[in-house]
Amino acid sequence: MPVLELIIFAGLAAIVLYQLYSVLGRRVGRQPDPAAEAATVPSRPLERLPDAPDDGVHLTGLAAVKAKDPAFDIGKFLAGAKTAYEMIVSAFAAGDRAALRPLLAPHVMQSFEAAIDQREAEGRTETVEFLHPPRADLDKAEVAAGDLAQLTVRFLAEFRSRTKGPEGEGVDDRRTAELWTFERPLKSRDPNWTLVQVAAAEA
């Protein structure tokens, strides 16, 4: 009897083990076939990424000047501008056209020359003496079409003017405030700046 029971239990155990294998040996539920899914799922169109911002930066002021001419030095420029200011004021007072011509744009030279001609026609002469070195401060900087730089300098100056005319001699101490605009192609081998505009400024 014990042997019969043992045989019966062994048979039952074999049936249970077979059923367990049948269930555990297979994936439960419907499992999608990756290959089939890849073939049946419609591919989405590639999304267009937003355009990257334009990296080009529009530089202005001294940054634009430095971008065109990395060797530009504002300290040296202002020192040169003060020298040019004294030279031009002195040459204008003396009526020295030869000294003025290479420093001025043609239209500025024409204006200066007209004033010199009028003074000479009236029989007047003038000399100037700077009481202090002029003060020069950058007022504006810009690069026009291409590489043409225009820098405007605000000058404060004190000088003594001595004049002679038909009525006699006169001495006049003056204090002036002016805006002078200098121009130069930054790619030019000529390092000199040209005076292209003179305007009055507030003291």
Mean pLDDT in residue range 62-83:
94
Q: What pLDDT, on a 0 to 100 scale, did the predictor assign at position 146?
A: 81
Q: Looking at per-residue confidence, does 23 or 173 come out higher?
A: 173
Q: Containing domain of residue 161, as a range?
A: 61-200
- For 107-161, write each residue's pLDDT tens digit: 999 999 999 999 999 999 999 999 999 999 999 999 987 899 999 999 999 999 9
- Average of per-residue pLDDT values in the chain: 79
pLDDT of 195 over the 80 cut: yes
In a domain, 39, yes or no: no
In a domain, 83, yes or no: yes
- Number of separate domains in the chain: 1
Q: Distance between CA atoms of 106 and 85, rounded to whole angstroms?
A: 17
In a domain, 55, yes or no: no
CATH no. for residue 136? 3.10.450.240
In a domain, 37, yes or no: no
Q: pTM for the complete prediction? A: 0.70
* CA-wise closest residue to 176 among 160, 149, 197, 157: 157
In a domain, 15, yes or no: no
Q: What pLDDT, on a 0 to 100 scale, did the predictor assign at position 57?
A: 55
Q: Distance between CA atoms of 171 and 87, rounded to whole angstroms?
A: 20
In a domain, 56, yes or no: no
